[in-house]
Chains A and B, each alone.
Chain A
Amino acid sequence: MNKQSTPLSVAEALESLILGKQREIKLSLACILAGGHLLLEDVPGVGKTTLAQGLAALLGLSNSRIQFTSDLLPSEIVGGPVYKRDTGEFVIHKGPIFTQLVIADEINRATPRTQSALLEAMSERNVSLEGQTLPLDPCFTVIATQNPVHQTGTYALPESQLDRFTMSVSLGYPDPHFERQLYATQNQAKNAQDSQQHYHQLLSWRHEAGLVNCTAELVDYLYRLVSATRRADELALGVSPRGGLQWLSAAKAWAFLHGRDFVIPDDIQDVALAVTRHRCIPRQHSGVNMTATLTHIFDEVPVYS
């Protein structure tokens, strides 16, 4: 990896790890560039963890991985006071959350109490321990993976918690062509080599992505899309103002990823589903294809006024 790396080159490097998932990789990267947290929703074994670790490695972020289980305690995430026998006093032990990138595997297996410990840290970007407020790393990002909710022994994340993830991305099974290729190489697990990249690069990219221009006209288009989800008969809950804000940053990050310093309508549309799908609740609870519903709603909104 040469020193003059661009976000796009990071994406390309990731594509060699997970074959045929160019779009999902870009979305994940854009999500992190937008300073948001990422939710990977998928069945086991399609490369969620690989993607998360690859992102950490390529962006040069320190990372820790927490496997969520039903007996996981909040203190095992954020840490807590520990008695030191030699000094005879309590010291605060910082949990695995004090790192740059947290990979929270199968987040919906833990109890709601444990989930909320993580999710609170996500929105506040600091942790209160023993009356002390400890700030988290400026690069602090959570990539949570989640198995589809209807599996047994899971606790579905409530809407208020889901709203804190900027994007939800679903990798899905690879294309047959790539899956065969995968088998042929006998899963010579390509682990990402630690890049030379320093995490400061990510911070400066985030700063630049935030400076991407979005005209008032496009902000209006974004607003019309958001309000369309609130008006739609098919949806019981539409996109929140927080969702709208994150949508805007995601669109800016998407434009930045593609080497532009201004947002075009396509940017807003490209990230639309990833930003909105996990935030909206259908009116009927079964047999709803959320992707199709949202696509239909967005298609009705005129792009140019």
Chain B
Amino acid sequence: MHDSAGIFWNLRRLTPIVGMLVVLIWSLAPALSWELPLVFTMVVGWRIWRAWRCAKPISRWLVNVSVAVGGLGWWLLFPSKLSLESAVGLLVAGVTLKLLEASQRRDAFVLVYSGFLLAVAVFLFNQSLWQSLIVLTAIALGLNGLHEASLDEISTLPVTRKLTLVGLTVLIAMPITITWFLIFPRIAPLWAIPVMADAARMGMSDTLRPGDVSRLGQDASVAFRVQFDGDQPRFDDLYWRGITLGRFNEGSWQQHNHLKQTKLGSPPPALTNGIVKSHYTVFQTASHRPWLYHLEPSTTSQSNVIGLTDGTYRTRWPITSDLSLSYELRARDLTGLRLLDNDFDRELYFPVDLNPRASELVAQLMTPGDPKTTVTNVLKWYQSQPFVYTLEPSSIREPNFVDRFLFETQEGFCEHFAYSFVALMRLAGIPARIVGGYMGGELNPINNTITVREMDAHAWTEVWIDELGWMRVDPTGVVAPERIRLGSIDSLRSSASFLSESPLSLLHLNDWQWINTLRWRLDALNYRWQSNIMSYRDKQQSALLKSIIGKITPLRILMLLGATLLLTLVPLMLWFVLRGSALFKTSQQRKLQHIDLRLREYGVFRLEGETLRQAVKRANAASASDLATLTDAVNAFERTYYAKT
């Protein structure tokens, strides 16, 4: 027989717990698949229906069948079983099954505690201010659910009182939370749990095949934010380099294998020897890629950052949580420029026979021995042709992509132009490579940060010229100069697919100045959160800890932790002890305690449901006079507290 008054059969009591789980699991939906949250929501609906109908708990065998089905579903949904997503998916599946079978108060506690785990999991994927506020709401719901579950009947407390209870619980936990936040080691590999490949859909990929970057133009989510300390470069100089693609392989451009190493290297001296022009900090969101976006030429003294010979930087592990990196922007230093024979050959390879018409064109345009003129000629040719910049070009699947694009379709976007331009350069015997990254960004006038979104993703090229080194050439800028001059928001907005993957973005309302200001303000707030709280790691951590405890030793960290616990728990315990002590008692409670103590002298421990008279009757071991004094005391107690005043 089930307890019909139980928490799972009362909608009002069930609401906070289920609300917490729904909020958290849907927060996880973008990172996982949509299937799990949908199934969970169905189970919630079913539970509500059962509660409404006061139906019996689900039968044992049905639970077993559901566990089997759930396990199978999880197995099919997550091809890579060792990824972060699959682990979180397993947790979500477990919570779903628990909700399915839940019937006891214990189950309610289990659900809320699992909810706290889910809250942690949400932060593995998204650490923005808004997400944090949503998680906070969910935790408040969960704490209220705990309170609700610990009662026997519907809580009759008013909402304000419930909120106070939740607030008090959070308040008690706050000091130790802050201390843990301060001292918890920020070990990169700990967070670098393998991530499913298809989840890393944001940003650039390390293979450029025509059509890959197109989706980025439709996504308004933030890739990174930049704060300059000193002069900002001109807008059309904001080429955020991420990765170079120099290896041509079966129709697509890829990163050279030697650049995929994770040993600490060093960028070429040409990029690191120039004088420092300004400093800037990049706050990168979790991209699940190791590439670090920066201007060229920049240096960084950050540990864990690997400088590669192509002048790009990367981390050892894919970036799975928000990361802040500071760079120095330098002037180009042209002394000692040299391209190794090895690299020279590598950056020249392109099959000659694939695109006969392109080879013909190159033969017409190239000036042997003068690469600079050749580049200019080719760019002039691009300008002379009726190329159309569009995010929805007709797709070209043939191996002779360059010929088809240059002479037939003549429509495309950055990567088409970069692809074909590098091909032409290589055919002309000039080393060239594609660079993947972001272009421009939006300046937030509130806090002077630059927000770079996924739709700012861009591909351009670099060509090697002997005295000048790797020179940036952006063929897109020749064909569609407004894309470079105005940035993605203003140049792409007339396009039908603009922000089609971010239907709720405030960017749609860009025309309205006050909405823009509001958007900037919200963004500035989010930036502060990200730069101060989420990017608190390594350096900031040790600096702050040093200012608190002097020297960082394990003992001192333990002492800090202990001190926090003492400062929180001792007053709390004191309050609990004192509340039961004479200090906080009414005179009646004191008198009662006094009589109870005297009863104990005769071996009588008064029970809760026992009156004083009944207890005195049990004290038969007492002598007649003792009994008389006891009775007198009880009579006096009764007269004092029950008689008419």
Interface residues of A (CB under 8 A from B): 213-215, 217-218, 231, 261-266, 269, 298-304
Contacts and interface: CB of A to CB of B under 8 A. Distances in A.
Contact of A263 (B612, B614, B642): B642
A262 B638 contact: yes
Interface in B584-609: 588-589, 592, 607-609
Interface string B272-287: 0000000000000000
Interface string B619-645: 000000000000000000011011110
B642 A303 contact: no
B610 interface: yes
Nearest to B634: A264
B637 to A, nearest CB: 9
B608 A262 contact: no
A304 B642 contact: no
Given A213-B643, A213-B644, A304-B592, A264 B609 contact: no
A99 B17 CA distance: 62
B198 interface: no
Given A264-B613, A266-B614, A304-B592, A215 B608 contact: no
Contact of A215 (B610, B611, B614, B642): B642
Nearest to A263: B642
A218 B608 contact: no
Given A265-B612, A266-B614, A302-B608, 4 more contacts: A213-B644, A218-B642, A301-B608, A304-B592
Which of B589, B607, B611, B642 is the most central at the interface, judged by chain A CB atoms within 10 Å of its CB?
B642
A218 B638 CA distance: 11
The size class of the interface chain B forms with chain A is 10 to 19
A303 B644 contact: no
B642 A269 contact: no
B152 interface: yes
Given A231-B152, A266-B614, A302 B609 contact: yes
A262 B611 contact: no
16 contacts: A213-B642, A218-B642, A231-B152, A262-B638, A264-B611, A265-B612, A266-B611, A298-B609, A299-B607, A299-B608, A299-B609, A299-B610, A300-B608, A300-B609, A301-B609, A302-B609
A292 to B, nearest CB: 14
- Pairs A-B, 5 closest by C-beta atoms: A299-B609, A302-B608, A265-B611, A262-B643, A213-B644
A303 B642 CA distance: 13
A197 to B, nearest CB: 28
Nearest to B608: A302
Contacts of B608: 299-303
Nearest to B3: A233
B609 A215 contact: no
B641 A217 contact: yes
A264 B642 contact: yes
A300 B588 CA distance: 21
Nearest to A295: B609
Contacts of B610: 299, 303
Nearest to B152: A231
Contacts of B589: 304
B638 A261 contact: no
Contacts of A218: 642
A261 B611 contact: no
A262 B642 contact: yes
A304 to B, nearest CB: 5
Contacts of B644: 213, 261-262
A217 B587 CA distance: 14
Nearest to B589: A304
Residue among A265, A299, A304 having the largest count of chain B Cβ atoms under 10 Å: A304
Interface in B72-119: none
Contacts of A261: 643-644
Contacts of B638: 262, 264
Contacts of B152: 231
Contacts of A301: 608-609
Interface string B141-182: 000000000001100000000000000000000000000000
Interface string B471-504: 0000000000000000000000000000000000
Nearest to B610: A303
Contacts of B639: 262
A303 B611 contact: yes
B633 to A, nearest CB: 14
A264 B634 CA distance: 11
Contacts of A303: 608-611
A265 B609 CA distance: 10
Contacts of B611: 264-266, 269, 303
Contacts of A263: 642
A304 B638 CA distance: 12
A148 to B, nearest CB: 29
Contacts of A264: 611, 613, 638, 642
A263 B613 CA distance: 13
Nearest to B643: A262
Nearest to B5: A231
B641 A215 contact: yes
A303 B641 CA distance: 14
Contacts of B592: 304
A214 B644 CA distance: 8
A264 B612 CA distance: 10
Nearest to A299: B609
A269 B609 CA distance: 10
